[in-house]
Amino acid sequence: MSAIVLDNQHLIDTLHYRVQVQKTLPQKDVRVRVGITALVNTKDQDQQSLLTHIRERLADFIPAEWVLFKIERNADAVGYERVTLNASARIPHTQNFNLTERARQASRDGLALTEPEIDYALPAAEIAAVLHELRAEALAEIAKQITDYNYVTDRHWRIGDIEFGIPNEVEEFVRRTSKGAYRAQPEAYVCEGDESGGLTAAERIVLIASVALKATA
C-alpha cells in the first residue's frame, strides 16, 4: 500500500536554496551564412545547372555541406532575371578567417557571394545533451547535500520541489535557452592540441536549480 504524504505548512519545515552547475564547451565548429546573387538569362530554364554552379562557388569559398534556402527570382534588366538566395553550413573553427575576401575571390561574373556571417551558437542537439548531464549533476549534488543536512540537523529532509532555470541576478549577461539553462556569451578559448595553434570560442552553459527541502516538525 502506498504511503500518502500531506504537506501542511504548520507541521513541515522548509529549506530553500539554489544549486548552480555549469560546463564550458569549446566550439569545434561554427555556422556560416552567406548571401548569393546570380544574374541569369530569362531563356535559361536549367535550374539544376544554376544550382550546380552555385555549389561550385560555395566549395571554392569554403568546402562544406551547404544548405540553400530563401531562393527568390525577380526581374532585372531586359532579358535577365536576378536570383537571390542564402546558403548555410557548419565549418571547422579553423576556417573562420578572412571570410569577406574569400567570398569575393570565390565570386564570378554574374554570380556573387556576399555578406558572410558567423553564428557561434552551439548546435541544439549538443545543448540538449549537456543539459541532460547538468541536471543529473545538480540532482547528485542535491542528494549529497541532503545527507549533510540530515547529519547536521539530526532531521530527515526530503526534496519538496525543484525548479530548473532560475535566473542568476549576478550574471546579467547570460542568455536563457528554451531548455531552462543559461548560455554565457562566447569567449576566447585556447585550443590545446590544435595543430593550427589558434583560438576558438567557448560557451559556458549554466544551469541553476531552485530547491525546496522539507522535513516534518
Between 37-41, 57-61, 105-109, the lowest mean confidence (pLDDT) is in 37-41
To the nearest 10 degrees (0 to 180), the angle between helices 99-106 and 47-61 is 140
Fold of 12-27+123-216: Translation Initiation Factor IF3 (3.30.110)
CA diameter of the chain: 88
pLDDT at 111 over 60: yes
Picking from 8-22, 56-70, 144-158, 168-182, which range would have the lowest pLDDT averaged per residue? 168-182
pLDDT higher than threshold 90 for residue 44? no
Q: What is the DSSP string of 121-142?
A: PPPHHHHHHHHHHHHHHHHHHH
Across 7-15, average pLDDT:
70
Which of the four pLDDT bands, split at 50, 70 and 90, describes residue 167?
Answer: low
What integer is the mean pLDDT of 55-67?
96
Those residues with Cβ within 8 angstroms of residue 174's Cβ, 6 or more apart along the chain or in another chain: 168, 182, 183, 184, 185, 206
Average pLDDT, the chain: 81
Is 167:208 a contact under the CB 8 Å cutoff? yes
SS3 state at 27: coil
What is the pLDDT at residue 188?
42
The tens digit of pLDDT for each residue in 63-93 reads: 999 999 988 888 877 778 999 999 999 999 8
Domain ranges for the chain, please list them.
12-27+123-216, 29-119
User: What is the DSSP pairing of strand 182-183 with strand 158-164?
Assistant: unpaired
Q: Which residues pair with 88 in a beta bridge?
A: 33, 67
pLDDT, one tens digit per residue, over 182-215 is: 555 544 444 333 444 445 667 888 899 999 999 8
Tell whether domain 29-119 is in CATH 3.30.70.360. Answer: yes
pTM over 0.95: no
Average pLDDT over residues 117-124: 88
Over residues 35-50, the mean pLDDT reads 85
Mean pLDDT score, 160-176: 61
* Dist CA 53 CA 76 (whole Å): 20
Using alpha carbons, list the distances in angstroms from residue 146 to 5, 8, 134, 211.
19, 21, 18, 11
Distance separating alpha carbons of residues 68 and 90, to the nearest angstrom: 13
The pLDDT value given to residue 6: 46
Strands 182-183, 175-176: pairing kind: antiparallel
Which has more pLDDT, 120 or 176?
120
Q: Which of 9-13, 174-178, 193-197 has the highest mean pLDDT?
A: 9-13
Q: Give dist(CA 215, CA 154) in Å, integer.
A: 11
pLDDT of res. 123:
86
